[in-house]
Amino acid sequence: MKKLLIIGLLSLFLTPLAHAQLGVKGGLNVAELTGRDGESSSYKAFYHVGVFYQANILGPLSIQPEVQYSLQGGNLKSAFTNYDSKLHYLTVPILAKLTVGPVFIEAGPQFGVLLNANQSGDLQVGFTEDGMPAYGNQSRPANSEFKRGDFSVVGGVGLKLASGFSLGGRLVAGLNDINDAKNLSGINDPKLQNRVFQVYAAFQFGDGK
């Protein structure tokens, strides 16, 4: 995972400048955590910001590596718990981009590294004297609850506007299990995956040739 992330970062700088275009972007994340039995998931609104580097390959086809700070997570609820998870990621999408007129489509893999995690709400806080789970409302760090690496696939569409601006939307679907809770059983055993819908605005410097 670390090697692939380094390759993605280096690809931002290895394409000749004459055939590439630097840009900045940011927008809304509507995210949830899916895959856990015994808990229902719901979406929460977060955000992402980043930079990208569009490199023309042939005709309408280009490659676009990006580096983003992405806040995601979601709400999980069961009979006894109801809490939000906030996951702070450094993400590196590496996308193939096809542009026809003002419309573009993009798809590719995304590699993510978890920077920080927090949980807040009604959570299990320990056990009673007779060994039963005890619950309470609290906010706590949750880095140990989640794996550091995340691998996703990305697909999206967008519209190029005048003066270097563009608008787009994406679906980011996590593929690997990010649940890393230890010494727990039952509802904590199944896989837990990221799912994020993104809406963003971007600005590209230069003429885009």
Q: Of the candidates 134, 137, 140, 148, which has an alpha carbon nearest to the alpha carbon of residue 119?
A: 140
- CATH classification number, 2-204, choose in 3.40.50.1820, 3.40.50.11750, 2.40.160.20, 3.40.190.10: 2.40.160.20
The answer to whether residues 118 and 72 touch, using CB atoms and an 8 Å cutoff, is no
| Per-residue pLDDT, 182 | 62
Number of Cβ atoms within 10 Å of the Cβ of 144: 9
- Each residue's pLDDT tens digit, 21-68: 899 999 999 999 987 767 889 999 999 999 999 999 999 999 999 999
Whose tokens are 């719901």? That residue is 42
Q: What confidence score (pLDDT) does residue 11 get?
A: 52
Tokens of 78: 């069961």
Res 128: pLDDT: 85
CA distance linking residue 137 with residue 143, whole number of Å: 18
pLDDT at 131: 83
Identify the segments of the chain with pLDDT beneath 50: 12-18, 187-188, 208-209
Helix (H, G, I), strand (E, B) or coil at 177: coil
Indicate the Cα dihedral angle 150, 85, 138, 183, nearest 10°: -40
What is the predicted pLDDT for the residue at 129? 84
Q: What is the pLDDT of residue 18?
A: 43
Per-residue confidence (pLDDT) for residue 60, from 0 to 100 = 94
